[in-house]
């Protein structure tokens, strides 16, 4: 599920949806390459955060209890943070296109 191609395709799909949404709302002139690239990388980061969380969760059950490191909690939390920041950035980009620049 978390192969490189899946990450690339998910990021590209989000970017395409964003561009189609700009065209449909008549604001295609607001599009620049930095925004499109940012949307792509935010989508990729969401998948990366999920991969970080799932990998930590799976390896915790495959490792004997005596070897479970407390650092895995922080790695799992880091995955949550990556997802949160990516979604917040995507929401800010959507608000900026709609004219609401509140952050």
Q: What's the whole-number mean pLDDT along residues 59-80?
A: 73
Give the Cα separation of 47 and 64 in Å (integer).
27
Write the CB contacts of 70 (distance below 8 Å, at least 6 apart in sequence). Answer: none
Question: Residue 100 has what pLDDT?
Answer: 62
pTM of the model: 0.77
Helix 4-24, helix 71-98: angle, nearest 10: 20
Q: What's the whole-number mean pLDDT along residues 33-50?
A: 90
- Give me the residue label for tokens 């949550």: 80
Can you say whether residue 26 is alpha, beta or left, with left for phi > 0 and alpha for psi between -120 and 50 degrees? left
């Amino acid at each position: 599920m978390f192969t490189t191609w899946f990450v690339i395709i998910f990021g590209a799909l989000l970017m395409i949806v964003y561009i189609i949404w700009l065209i449909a709302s008549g604001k295609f002139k607001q599009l620049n390459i930095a925004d499109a690239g940012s949307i792509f990388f935010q989508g990729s980061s969401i998948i990366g955060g999920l991969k970080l969380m799932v990998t930590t969760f799976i390896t915790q059950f495959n490792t004997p209890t005596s070897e479970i490191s407390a650092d895995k909690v922080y790695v799992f939390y880091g995955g949550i943070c990556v997802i949160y920041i990516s979604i917040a950035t995507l929401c800010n980009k959507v608000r900026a296109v709609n004219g609401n620049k509140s952050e």
